[in-house]
Amino acid sequence: MTLRADIHVALDEVAVNAPKVRAQVLAEVAVERTRIRRRGTPLSGTDRIRRTFTFGFRQAAALAAALIVVLLMGTLVAGGRFLRGLEQRGAVDQRVVNQLIARPFIAPVLSAVDPCPTETLATIDYGNGPLTLYGNGPVYAIGVNETDDNWGSYFDAKYFTRPGLNGPVLVRGRDARSTIPLVFIGKYSMGPSVGSDTFHDKVVQHRPYLVLDPGHPLYRFQEGYGLFSVLQAMQRGRSGCWVIQIDGQGFTETIFGSGGMIPENN
């Protein structure tokens, strides 16, 4: 069965009563397919930077069945092959979060001529076939969409947590060749405001930390992986080489990437 056929089957399972949303998702996948067909043309340096934290058609196909519920809140069908259901966010242990914040950011700042380190990639099977993500576990990430404005770029990112992971998880990031930080917006963001912007006609606060509670993800797949939907951003002037540090109880994970969050082997 082809990826496109998989998408049709999955959408039929969870969106029987939502034909407009079904058509919208298939149209978006078709747009991604067109973009990927153009990959034969070498990217300029500017294009590589613009693609930071974004991904292509095959990732869209692999994730469409699960992420469709974001558009189907009013018609969500519980259960099914992909999701075990929505979960409520619990309160994180602030004491532990403070301990994680106190850990140093390990990755050094690279010079303008230093090569970007090898991308940190891993393949997981969250229940709908293998998917290559950024990270080496127990937390993984992938970009979904990029929106640019006068301030910088906003990225719709998805974070996956490994089954059985406990305790709060702290995420920090920055441009690997400068001190331009990765900032977070919304309910999972934490820390003092380090700036603000108007995004989609709404004033948003930029915060330095992302805190995830693996015990209470936005969605829980049947195989046990947790899924978090996150809005993150980086100001103009970034080099295109980025680094994210993820800290939890008993581990520190460092993720490097360059050019775009587009694992080629999905």
Domain identity same for 145 and 206: yes
| Domain that residue 168 falls in | 83-258
Residues 70, 231: contact at Cβ < 8 Å?
Answer: no
Among 41, 71, 101, the domain-final residue is 71
Domain identity same for 122 and 192: yes
Domain identity same for 101 and 57: no
**Structure tokens, 225:** 């992986």
Residue 77 lies in a domain: no
Domain identity same for 152 and 239: yes
Domain identity same for 167 and 221: yes
Indicate the DSSP class of residue 141: E
- Of 70, 100, 13, 98, nearest to 228 by C-alpha is 70
Domain identity same for 217 and 100: yes
- Other CB atoms within 10 A of residue 260 CB: 22
User: What distance lies between CA 6 and its chain's CA centroid?
Assistant: 22
Residue 218 lies in a domain: yes
Domain identity same for 228 and 105: yes
Residue 265 lies in a domain: no
On the question of a cis peptide bond just before residue 19, with omega within 30 degrees of 0, the verdict is no
Tens place of pLDDT per residue across the chain (266 aa)? 444 444 444 444 444 434 444 444 444 444 444 444 444 444 444 444 444 555 544 555 556 555 554 444 333 333 333 344 444 455 789 999 999 999 999 999 999 999 999 989 999 998 878 889 999 999 999 988 888 999 999 999 999 999 999 999 999 999 999 989 999 999 999 999 999 999 999 999 999 999 999 999 999 998 999 999 999 999 999 898 999 999 999 999 999 988 655 455 44
Give ∠ CA 178-106-252 in degrees, rounded to 5: 130
Domain identity same for 156 and 251: yes
Give ∠ CA 238-187-168 in degrees, rounded to 5: 90
